Amino acid sequence: MGNRDVRIINLEAGMPLVEEARKRLIKEIDTAIKDGVSVLEIIHGYGSSGRGGKLKDAIRKSLLYRRREGRISTFIYGEKWNIFEQSTREVLGKHPYLERDRDLNNDNPGITIVLH
């Protein structure tokens, strides 16, 4: 994406256990807030490695909690990250540089877009 307002976080790298990845997610969200980064693209995989499915589900569940806590404002699953989704159009309206994101319109269940 190439914008200072976007940070890509690969939680799948190194095949961490779910709890390790969840702790890293929370740390990365806090760091992004401190650094003024408004958009995170979380790479969690989708299950092809045997662990990605558990990781994806746990990360997305953790994001629900982070939203309830007020740490993040919203998130969009990679498979919903397309211009036909109202939530995506709203995000693109606020962050038009995301129109250049390589995962936009690619139905990628291995990522989640997070905004705070």
Average pLDDT over residues 6-28: 94
| Whether pLDDT at 51 is above 60 | no
**Residue 97: how many CB atoms within 10 A of its CB?**
14
89-110: per-residue pLDDT in tens?
999 999 999 999 999 999 999 9
> What is the set of domains in the chain, with CATH numbers?
6-115 (3.30.1370.110)
pTM of the model: 0.90
Residue 48: predicted pLDDT: 64
